[in-house]
Chain A
Amino acid sequence: MSDGSPAFVRTALVPSRPPPVVTTGLAGFLRTRLFNSPFNIALTILCFVLLGLVITPTVKFMLIDAVWHGSDRTACLESRVGHPVGACWPFIRAKFAQLIYGFYPEDQRWRANLTFALAALLLAPLLVPRIPGKAINAALFFVAFPFVAFFLLHGGGLNGFLFYWLANAAGQAWEPSVVRFWIDFGLTAAVVIAGVAWIFARREGLRPVLLAVVAFVATAAVILSMHLDREGLQPVDTRQWGGLLVTLVVSVTGIVASMPIGIALALGRTSKIPVLKITSVAFIEFWRGVPLITVLFFATYMLPLFLPGDFTIDALVRVLVGTALFAGAYNAEVIRGGLLAVPRGQTEAANALGLSYWKTTGLIMLPQALRHVIPGLVNSFIALFKDTTLVLIVAIFDLLGSLRAAFADPNWATPTTLFTGFAFTGLIYWVGCFGMSRYSLFVERRLNAHRQT
């Protein structure tokens, strides 16, 4: 360096280095996520083979080789069609009514349709968080709808209102008539509205009273429109119900009835009263410890023995009681988790404000706890929806039971009938469960939105 010679200066360009391996775009994706090591290459090929083995025959069965028209089994026989037969869709078309309504009388099916529509109309706005009026919507769905649905599906009328039933319980019932019914209704309305006014009017003004009046007017409108004061709709015995109708009746009743049971049990289990706590724990652990099928057998064979001899209850109702108690115990544990997750400061603050136990629970604890556990509750509803299939073991024809009954028809006995039936019902169950689980994910993400940055 010191001899004055100039420093080294490059005269030719260095050859450029190869560009870094592409890790974006399709090529990069293939390279990094599918073919990045010999082991992964083998796995990828294996998966492709597996997918081919599953998807190709499924598509072929469901669409390409399927038979779409026909009136009996001969349409779906290989000798008639000339190529291997896939799904036999005419079978589903022929049995569609049975799969949806069971043996519900054909001219009365509009009632089932109306119930479905009503449920969808009430449920849809309840599920979208942006739509206001959740309280009134929930009240309509969880309280009013079950009664309306019962009279719609089952039919029959009312003999009287509160006073008639009180008199009936006391053994002093009168001969029912339309005029007496409306007198009874009016008296009941007056008593209840007066009661509401007496309890709430001082502190909360006229709003509760107005609400009560509106509720009674709406009830009267429903009674008039369905002629409940007279004969009502033509009664349909629950033994004629079936198919998807029963599946939905059992699951919706289970969902609606298990909520109050679950809340009561969860409060009992977190209560400080020893007896209440012990009873709740025992009750919850009992129902959670036995399989649902034993519960259904319990409801079918043992429950009638426990009731007074002249008291018979419908087979479907027995099953509903069993499922509601079973689902209630599972819900109780979910809700208890939510109650425990509410920070302790919330109760302490409520205590400091001088709120009573019921106010603390109803205004502070439960609203927060229930919001937290919506995903968990939806998961237990999914389990309940899947478990409704078990009623077929106690001879109630739900969707799966109707499918099984449809298989027995010799008119449609072909080699692919079974697969077709399972494909159709499987799709219904899958869409129901998958929809619910997506919804629970959506709610979960919404609830945790504040935690993500």
Chain B
Amino acid sequence: MPVELRKPPLRFGTRLRRLLLGDVGWLGGLAQFAFVALLVWIGHEIVLNAHDNLEAQHISSGLGFLSNSAGFAVNQSLIRYSESDTYLRVFVVGLLNTVLVSVIGIVFATVIGFAVALGRLSSNWLLSRVCAGYVEVIRNLPLLFQILFWYLAVLGALPVPRQSLSILGVGFLNNRGLVIPDPIPQQGWNAFVVAVAAGICAALVMRYYARRRLLAKGEKLTVWPYVLVMLFGLPLLSVVLFGSPLHWDLPHLRGFNFVGGIRVIPEFVALPLALSTYTAAFIAETVRAGILSVHKGQMEAGASLGLSRRQVMRLVVIPQAMRVILPPLTNQYLNLTKNSSLAVAIGYPDLFSVFAGTTLSQTGQAVEIIAITMGVYLALSLLTSAAMSLYASRIERSQRA
């Protein structure tokens, strides 16, 4: 006698309970409910208090203030900005300055960090000690201390413009900042840019082709002379045909100050300098840990396949180390970006300084301004960590396979 199949259990109710209560049972559910009630009550109190307090101080909440005229000057701006522009534009100016300082800091920090890490792993005893000393000194001093040191002590001690320190006769360093030549595009500029882009594309295509031939037929093609020709010959050709792409406007001393060139404000010298040297020490440690994490057997296996030391490093060690390095490295980049808010201590006009600093003290809109500022940084780090967890899950999948 065939037994009739029983119906599958009703999964919906179970699922709902799982979702709401986890597996803590009804008592846990009650605790959970009480917790939510507490949170709601605290939130309610906060909103109520904030409302009362703002009313008492005659501050109207809302984002309306963003369209008011700012009325203060900003001493460095990537976009056109004048005192009569709105607070919204101040926000954009600050944001761009933050991005600028972060990008410059990240580039230099990566270069210095990798160099120091490789130096620390070098077989040269003295070099590895010098790099270790760099890391230990920089890592154990507060970042704000270093920013103030560079800004107040080092850049502040520079001579007046008339006695500027000359850098190869083209750049000048003095207590008003760094003066460098100003590149002014000439008529050959467009052709030059096109030539450089074409050169890079051609070089990439050649490399790709050589690699495919190597993998498909085992032939080794020598492409680097052609790559060099493409990379440097094409731009040179465009210069010969269409004339010089840039005119360097050299700064020169007239009276008590320099004319011509671009003046980089001292804050913009001190901040990236401190940020990149500080973060470089952390990056160096990250990179060193990543390279050391690759098993020694990998290098030995590479060597036994007949690869040279450099090839082992490039083809075996670095690709595996990069997986370990990349997540903490992005974390360091994020830290650098967040730390760039210390600009407020020396008055570099970054997002925090002009928005949460000057704008806040002028308008008194504390809630909105701090929420917006926090939101910007928060969005940045959440996006980055989301990208990183995606990357980590992909790595994990590829390792499981």
B95 to chain A, nearest CB (A): 14
Contact with A400, one of B144, B374, B378 (Cβ below 8 angstroms): B144
Question: Are B145 and A389 in contact (CB-based, < 8 A)?
Answer: yes
A273-B142 in contact (CB<8A)? no
- A140 and B147 alpha carbons, distance in the complex (Å): 38
CA separation between A289 and B335, bound complex, in Å? Answer: 9
Query: A50 CA to B48 CA in the complex, in Å?
Result: 62
| B300 vs chain A, min Cβ distance (A) | 20
> Is the CB–CB distance between B157 and A294 below 8 Å?
no
Q: Does B391 contact A (CB under 8 A)?
A: no
Chain B residues with Cβ under 8 A from A301's Cβ?
360, 366, 370
Chain B residues whose C-beta falls within 8 Å of the C-beta of A419 in the assembled complex: 153, 157
Q: Is there an interface contact between A307 and B49, defined as CB atoms closer than 8 Å?
A: yes
Chain A residue numbers with a CB within 8 Å of B41 are none
**Docked complex Cα distance between A193 and B137 (Å):** 52
Once the chains bind, are B352 and A273 in contact (CB under 8 Å)?
no
Within B34-78, the residues touching A (CB, 8 Å) are 35-36, 39, 46, 49-50, 52-54, 56
- Segment of A39-47, A114-122, A345-353, A443-451 engaged in the interface with chain B: A39-47
Q: Among the listed A50, A51, A294, which residue makes an inter-chain contact with B374, where contact means beta carbons less than 8 Å apart?
A: A294
Contact assessment for B35 and A276 in the assembled complex, using a CB-CB cutoff below 8 Å: yes
Instruction: For the complex formed, measure the closest distance between the CB of B383 and the CB atoms of chain A, giving whole angstroms.
Output: 10
Tell me which residues across on chain A come within 8 A of B211, comparing CB atoms.
none
List CB contacts (< 8 Å) of A273-308 with chain B.
273-277, 279, 285-286, 288-291, 293-294, 297-298, 301-302, 304-308
Minimum Cβ distance to chain A for residue B25 (Å): 10
Bound CA span A418–B151, Å:
11
Interface string of B304-346 (1 = CB under 8 A from A): 0000000000000000000000000000000000110110110
Q: A51-B130, A298-B374 are in contact. Are A426 and B49 (CB under 8 A)?
A: no
Is B122 an interface position by the 8 A CB rule? yes
Given contacts A309-B56, A418-B153, contact A297 B50 (CB under 8 A): no
- Which residues of A (386-406) have their CB < 8 Å from a CB of B? 386-390, 392-393, 400, 404
Q: Is A407 an interface residue (CB 8 A)?
A: yes
Contact across chains for B123 and A36 when beta carbons are under 8 A apart: yes
A437: Cβ under 8 A from any B Cβ = yes
Our pick among A285, A293, A433 for the contact of B341 (Cβ within 8 Å) is: A293
* A40 and B49 within 8 A (CB): no
Q: How far is the CB of A284 from chain B (nearest CB, A)?
A: 11
- A294 in complex: contacting residue of B122, B145, B341, CB < 8 Å: B341
- Complex CA gap A309/B54 in Å reads 10
**Residues of B contacting A400 with CB < 8 Å?**
142, 144-145, 148
> Can you list 5 pairs linking A and B with CB atoms under 8 Å apart?
A33-B123, A297-B370, A306-B46, A390-B144, A430-B137
Binding site for B on A (CB under 8 A): 29, 33-34, 36, 40, 43-44, 47-48, 50-51, 272-277, 279, 285-286, 288-291, 293-294, 297-298, 301-302, 304-309, 382, 386-390, 392-393, 400, 404, 407, 415, 418-419, 422, 425-426, 429-430, 433-434, 437
Given contacts A289-B380, A293-B342, A387-B142, 18 further A-B contacts (CB under 8 A): A33-B124, A36-B123, A40-B122, A40-B127, A47-B130, A273-B24, A276-B32, A290-B338, A293-B341, A305-B366, A309-B52, A389-B145, A393-B344, A393-B345, A419-B153, A429-B140, A430-B140, A437-B140
